[in-house]
Amino acid sequence: MKKKVLITGATGRTGLLVVKKLQIENNDWQVIPFAKSPTKAEEIFTSTENFIFGNILSFEDLTIATQGCDTLIILTSAVPKMISPPFEGKPPEFDFEDRGKPEEVDWIGQKNQIDAAKQAGIKHIILVGSMGGTNDNHPLNRLGNGNILIWKRKAEEYLINSGIDYTIIHAGGLLDKPDGKRELLVGKNDEFLTNPPNNIPTSIPRGDVANVVIEALDNPFAKNKVFDLISKPESENNTLITYDWNNFFQQIT
């Protein structure tokens, strides 16, 4: 019998990649995508079979969604919206949609997911967050006065203290570029932001983040690890890069 993995944020730009990759690959996992909007899901996916629709602010919705699942992948995140473009030297202004502020999505919503997972007996949670959480004054926290990285870090600490096995990935700036063509680098405590290796950009294609998430599902060395993740620039020879995933996760302390 296949194990079940619940993927929240399934219609987000990274979430849809995780869902589609897992649906295509021949593996032992039954994919249960969780999303808020049936309309958006129908636009993205050829089929919404096995989808569960609900809101992460509803513990009841999450209680239903987590039943019978073995692993939870959290890919939900508050999304800032530009409400005023830059004008005459003034920076752009941002805000968040109703019930979509970081305190609600990245703290209350993620806490709900962790609590529902624990109640359902889920054994492993993979959470994708962002680099920059060690700096309360990071520019991302000023977007819409949302303190998004502060709330994300609060949820991560809650997960670590939950007693559930965890894998927490602090992704660099996300790129809509082809995956599998860049060497991946792992670090900790935002060291790439303060001292980037060879001054390379602290970014990574979304597809490469999705690949690491998927590999963490079955790899015992990925459990109870927190790490930053970026990539080197794409190689000029355009060849695919393969990994020994045991070694990849074992290097993370």
Asked if the model's pLDDT at residue 37 lies above 90, the reply is: yes
* Interval 60-111: pLDDT, tens: 999 999 999 999 999 999 999 999 988 888 889 999 999 999 999 999 999 9
User: pLDDT per residue over 108-166, tens digit each?
Assistant: 999 999 999 999 999 999 999 999 999 999 999 999 999 999 999 999 999 999 999 99
Catalytic residue from among 130, 203, 231, 235: 130
Query: What beta strand segments (E) does the chain contain?
Result: 3-8, 29-35, 52-53, 71-74, 81-84, 93-95, 124-130, 165-171, 173-175, 184-187, 203-205, 225-231
Structural domains in the chain, sorted by start:
3-250 (3.40.50.720)
Q: What is the pLDDT of residue 94?
A: 94
Between 67 and 199, the more confident residue is 67
CB 208 within 8 A of CB 182: yes
Q: Which two three-digit tokens encode residue 86? A: 């830059």
Pair 62, 72: CB distance under 8 Å: no
In DSSP terms, which residues pair with 207 in a beta bridge?
A: none
Q: How confident is the model at residue 199 (pLDDT cuts 50, 70, 90)?
A: confident
Our answer to whether residue 130 is catalytic in this structure is: yes
Q: Which residues contact 61 (CB under 8 A, 6 or more apart)?
A: 52, 54, 55
pLDDT at 9: 98
State residue 196's pLDDT score. Answer: 86
Among candidate residues 158, 173, 182, the one with its CA nearest the CA of residue 242: 182
- What is the average pLDDT across 164-174? 97
* DSSP E strand boundaries for 46-123: 52-53, 71-74, 81-84, 93-95
The H-or-E segment that residue 217 falls in is helix 206-218
The mean pLDDT value of the chain amounts to 95
Q: For the chain, what percent of residues have pLDDT higher than 70?
A: 99
**Strand pairing partners for 84?**
93
Other CB atoms within 10 A of residue 43 CB = 9
Tell me whether residue 207 is exposed, middle or buried, using C-beta atoms within 10 angstroms of its C-beta: 0 to 12, 13 to 18, 19 or more.
buried
Q: Are 232 and 182 in contact (CB under 8 A)?
A: yes
For residue 26, the model assigns a pLDDT of: 66
